[in-house]
Structure 1
Amino acid sequence: MAEKIALVTGANKGLGFAVVKGLCEKFKGIVYLTSRDEKRGLQAVQVLKKIGLNPQFHVLDVTNEDSAKKFADFLKNKHGGIDVLVNNAGVMDLGNVYPTYEGAKHNIDVNYRGLVTVEKFLYPLLRDGAKVVNVSSACGLLSNLKNEKWLRILKNPDLTEEELNDFVEEYLASVKNGTFRKENFADEGKHAEHRVSKIAATALTMVQQRNYASRNISINAIHPGHIKTDMAKGGGDLEPEEAAKGILFLILEASPNLKGTFVWHDGKLIDWYDNESNDYYKYCP
């Protein structure tokens, strides 16, 4: 039987690093720490090796198709498949509440389109019974969105990836051409780019699960909590190791029948389609 393989994107620090650490301690198989920056990734691996853990490293830039293809080819040739995939790579610029088009596009390129790239190249390697966790946030709830047309599209149980792409492109076009409306979002449209990227990432989770319904693959999204990371600029209340617990639970303990859900950091299942709830958007990211 082939040895089980787990990999975590964006894992040289913060939450991703904590997830790799937890997997190295408990997962029975090989764990890959990936990072777009080779130097930082190798340094992170060395930190874990110094405490007796043994992750492997590979470069992966989720915004670069060539990088994703090279990693996929490597995994296919060396291991034949993947058993665990944690899509953690993400960005947020807290310094720009209403970003430029370039800033908004960069956020979406990493947080949403990066998932699409990973799906294109790595999902074909998922073995039967594999588990995928897409790291979302409080911004990924539909309650962040107030535009009725967008809500109608996103709440359709037959939502397609093409419609998701159209939603993202329509938002970006509004920023580019100056027609962006704060009223389309909660909280006066602050960090709308992050809300759009995380809503799209969460919705993509549901679409992906539906597309893989014929195989025993579990794909779930999670809000890991407000974490003390560079992204939070000191404003978080959870250490990365604490926030990693929810992700590790989904991988190591949750029933394989838990599929296509949005999980809160405390393990609570959230009705993602309930856009009337305004309990969570204030805690964005």
Structure 2
Amino acid sequence: MTITPRVALVTGATQGLGLALVEALARRMTPQDTVYLTGRDAGRVAAAVDARPAGGAHVRGEVFDVSGARTADRLAALLAERHGGVDIVFNNAVMRVGPDDDPRKIIDGYAEVNNFGTTRVLRAFAPLLPDGGRLIVVASSLGTLHHLAPVLHDRFDGLASLDEVDAQVAAWCAAVRDGSARAGAWPGFVNIPSKIGQVAAVRALARQRRDQDATRGILLAAACPAMLNTPTSALWWDVRSAATPAQATGPLLDLALAPVVPEHYGELVRNGKVVPWAPRR
């Protein structure tokens, strides 16, 4: 029996959870498979590829800055030419923010990576998924309407397209930039609306693709890796008892490699269970 080599792509993969996902995928996949380790800095990409343990799938580095206007399209075209498609995509790239950062000053760069970068990846790589493919956006349990004031729920609930998601994120960014978000109902922690925007993007694309993806065994989902023991998380919380990035990969790999659970489609999933999007009415 001939086995078709598989291709996986991880964004934001030079450190932390992204790097751990690359290493775990490589261990679980075969030497005929390819895992793309991507990041925006060529030197860090090369160093991460050189430092990984031998064995398993072939790990290949590619420079990919999700904040670039056309970079996702260019990488998607390159991988389509090389492989004909991409079986597994983990969108993990993130710009981190610290307690001392002024949201008004960092919001544009922050959303460019975390939100518009997410919708760029979804647009570029969803069409490349073969039967059985997986596209997973690494988000957070903060990415639900439970963490947003009810008056703002309509901003992100029921959106029908990625363009609508981008428009709502842009409006939120403008309110942060001019200070009106601080005086209104928006949460002060910019990570909350950003994560909600990421999950809303998955939900919007899922609304468009649900029927065709169901017949082809494709999974499109957001995933929460739970609290991680990383230097960035330690700026905000006591993470001494939290999982390391390597420990957190298990449930994420299940989404990528185990049989699809239909209930996960278009949802935010944490440890194999769907995190409800909205409060019960």
TM-score, normalization: structure 1? 0.86
Are 1:67 and 2:71 counterparts? Answer: yes
Aligned equivalent of 1:127, options 130, 141, 144:
130
- Per-residue deviation at 1:239? 0.3
The structural deviation recorded for 1:124 is 2.3
Match of residue 275 from structure 2: 270
SS at match of 1:7: strand
Counterparts of 2:138 and 2:259, CA distance in 1: 16
Gaps of 5+ in 1: 277-285
Structure 1 Cα separation of the partners of residues 258 and 183 of structure 2 = 41
CA-to-partner distance for each residue in 1:29-52, whole Å, 9 max, x for gaps? 211111111111111111114577
SS at match of 1:139: coil
Partner of 2:220: 219
Shift of 1:106: 1.4
Q: Distance in 2 between matches of 1:43 and 1:254?
A: 33
After superposition, residues 83-162 of structure 1 pair within 5 angstroms as 83-96=87-100, 98-100=102-104, 102-148=105-151, 150-156=152-158, 159-162=160-163
Query: Partner letter of residue 207 of structure 1?
Result: A
Q: Percent identity?
A: 28
How much has 1:27 moved relative to structure 2?
2.2
The aligned amino acid for 1:201 is: Q
Q: 1 CA distance for matches of 2:41 and 2:229? A: 21
User: How far apart, CA to CA, are the structure 1 residues paired with 2:280 and 2:154?
Assistant: 10
Corresponding position of 1:14: 16
The counterpart of 1:259, out of the listed 261, 265, 270, is 265
Instruction: Give secondary structure in 2 for the equivalent of 1:152.
Output: helix
1:3 matched to 2:5? The reply is yes
SS of 2:142's partner is helix
The count of aligned residue pairs is 268
Deviation of the 1:12 alpha carbon: 0.7
Aligned match of 1:57 in 43, 56, 61? 61
From the superposition, tell whether residues 65 and 162 of structure 1 become closer, same or farther in structure 2 (CA, over 3 Å): closer
Which residue matches 1:280?
none
Name the CA shift for 1:87/1:63 in 2 (closer, same or farther; >3 Å): same
Deviation at 1:63, TM superposition (A): 0.7
Aligned-residue CA RMSD (Å):
2.2
Unaligned runs of 5+ in 2: none
Counterpart among 201, 205, 211 of residue 204 in structure 1 = 201
Distance 1:66 1:134 in 2: 19
CA contact 1:228–1:239 (8 Å) conserved in 2: yes
Alpha-carbon distance in 1 for matches of 2:183, 2:243 = 30
| Distance across 2 between alignment mates of 1:222 and 1:74 | 26
Are the equivalent residues in 1 in contact too, given 2:219–2:260 (CA < 8 A)?
no
Q: Normalising to structure 2: TM-score of the pair? A: 0.87
Contact 2:111 2:194 in 1 (8 A): yes
Per-residue deviation at 1:53? 6.2
CA distance in 1, matches of 2:94, 2:141: 14
The 10-residue stretch of structure 1 (79-88 or 129-138) with the greater mean CA deviation from structure 2: 129-138
Equivalent pair of 2:136/2:222 in contact (CA under 8 Å): yes
Q: How far is the alpha carbon of 1:83 from its aligned partner?
A: 0.6
The structure with higher relative contact order (CA 8 Å, sep 6+) is 1
Q: Which amino acid aligns with 2:156?
A: L
Does the 8 Å CA contact 2:16/2:245 hold for their aligned counterparts? yes
User: Is 1:141–1:272's contact at 8 Å kept on the other side of the alignment?
Assistant: yes
CA distance in 1, matches of 2:103, 2:273: 32
Code of the residue aligned with 1:59 in structure 2: it is: V
